Amino acid sequence: MAKQGYIREIDKLGRVVIPKQFRKQMNVPEEGGEVVVTCKNGTVSISKLAETCIFCRSRKKLTEFKERPICAQCLAELKGETGEQD
């Protein structure tokens, strides 16, 4: 990598590809993930979105379920539903 970073072409729709190495460092999915894009003093920054519950998007009391973020309330509901037997 050059000292000033990777040089990337902006396509006709204004899109720029985030280098794979950076996506890996940020731990964002290859497809379907979301990032936060900001612009300050002429510099555009791309940040990882704060983790939210995959069901209700809450940021409170997050844990993981099958490697996905889930809040305590949704986890309890999930456990309650899966614990029921007919």
Q: Is 28 in the site for Zn ion (CB under 5 A)?
A: no
> What is the nearest approach in angstroms of Zn ion to the Cβ of residue 52?
8
Interface size with Zn ion, residues (CB under 5 A): 6
Measured from the CB atom, is 5 or 83 closer to Zn ion?
83
CA distance 86 to 81: 11
Q: Which of residues 45-74 bind Zn ion (CB under 5 A)?
A: 53, 55-56, 58, 71, 74
Asked if residue 10 lies in contact with residue 16, where contact means CB atoms within 8 angstroms, the answer is yes
From 12, 9, 28, select the one nearest 20 (Cα to Cα).
Answer: 28
Measured from the CB atom, is 28 or 53 closer to Zn ion?
53
Tokens 């973020």 map to which residue? Answer: 69
Question: Residue 2: what are its φ and ψ, rounded to 5°?
Answer: -70, 160
**Chain residues that interact with Zn ion, rule: CB under 5 A:** 53, 55-56, 58, 71, 74
